[in-house]
Every structure is written in C-alpha cells, then in structure tokens.
Copies of this chain bind each other. A is one copy, B any other.
Amino acid sequence: MSTAEETAGGEAQPWGEVTPDAARRLLLAAVEAFAERGYHATTTRDIAGRAGMSPAALYIHYKTKEELLHRISRIGHEKAVDILRTAARAEGTPAERLADAVSSFVRWHAGGRTTARVVQYELDSLGPGARAEILALRRQVDAEVRGIIEEGVRSGDFDVPDVRGTTLAVLSLCIDVARWFNVDGPRTPEEVGELYADLVLRMVGARGTGAA
C-alpha cells in the first residue's frame, strides 16, 4: 500500500527531527505497518522486521507498540499546529491567511496521507494519557483556524453565523483529503489546495466570493 519513499519523502513528512536514525526508521516502519494492516494486527516484531532490526533493538527505543503510535500521533499533531499557526500569524487579510492555512493543510494531508490516516483512524487505540495529550493538540489546531475566522467576522470580511461549526467543517474537509487523495488521480496536492481555499472562502462568506 505504501512505500518507505512515499511515507518518508518530501517536505510534508515531519520525521526529520527524530533521532537517532534507528528510532526514525522504526517510526516509519510502524506507520507503514499500521496503515497496511491496522494497529491491532501489527506486532512490534513486524515493525522491527520492516525496519531491518531485531525486536530487542526496537525495545531500546520504544517500550511498547502504543508508544510508537503515540509518538507518531504527537509528531503529526505538532506539525499540524505548526502549519496552521504559521498561516494564522502571517501578514495579510483574514481571507489571505485563511486561504493560506487551508491550502497548506490540504497539501500536507495529501503528501503525508499514509501518516495522516494512521493518526486519524487509530486515535481510539491510544491509552487515556496519550489520548488526552493528543486531544489538547487538536484543540490547538481548532483554535488556530477559529481565530482567523473570528478575526474575519470582527473585521466584516466574513459572514459566519456559526463560527464553531464552520471551523469544524473547514478542518474536516482538509483532513479527509488524506482518505481520498490518490497520487494517480487527476489533481496535484497544490491544485486540491487551491480549490479548497476557494471553497472555504465561500463557506465563510468572504467578500467577493460565492453568490451572485
């Protein structure tokens, strides 16, 4: 389903910070195994084998399978916060920053779809402590997008009757790109990002978009 190159390649992947190299290779192997077979069907032995290592070598870096999932999920969510915060704090009008946030977030979900699927679909496999930490990061993701929309409403640039619901829908639209995006399909990640930025500006009733 996925290759090491696909999950590792490109700037969309946030694994560069993971050291040493063996720990990074194990995370990549875990992403591939979870994506192909699911978290519960994957053993630490499978992951070590994919990384060309022994189970004993894996335990030097990760004590449990859950620790691998937790680490993958934390890195993925921290990167999501970083992408959206960068867009939210940039120069420009609320419409420009919202369009930038959406197109960046979409490109990242298209490019890192294997990781994104694992992170999104295996959330319930985390234990309570790890889950609480990830949910706190998700609230930050939500707050960054909501902040841009609130600012646009205050300035009169946007017309949004339900800011919380619209924020949720905008994020949902971007996240689901990881489910359907196909590298062999007709659109590049950049093209989907542009289309979605336009659709989201319509959703928030940005001036000059949408209805005749």
Give the B-binding residues of A (Cβ under 8 A). 1, 37-41, 117, 120-121, 124, 156, 159, 161-162, 165-166, 168-169, 172-173, 175-177, 179-180, 187, 192, 195-196, 198-199, 202-203, 205-212
Contacts and interface: CB of A to CB of B under 8 A. Distances in A.
Nearest to A117: B121
Given A210-B205, A210-B211, A173 B180 contact: no
13 contacts: A1-B124, A37-B38, A41-B41, A121-B121, A156-B212, A159-B212, A162-B195, A172-B177, A175-B179, A202-B211, A205-B209, A207-B212, A209-B210
A192 B208 CA distance: 27
Contacts of A210: 159, 202, 205, 209-211
A154 to B, nearest CB: 14
A165 B195 contact: yes
Nearest to A173: B173
Contacts of A209: 205, 210-211
Given A41-B40, A199-B203, A165 B179 contact: no
A205 B196 contact: no
Nearest to A168: B180
A162 to B, nearest CB: 6
Contacts of A39: 38
Contacts of A192: 165
A5 B109 CA distance: 34
A172 B171 CA distance: 12
Nearest to A209: B211
Contacts of A172: 173, 176-177, 179-180
Contact of A195 (B169, B199, B206, B208): B169
Contacts of A212: 156, 159, 205, 207
Contacts of A211: 159, 202, 205-211
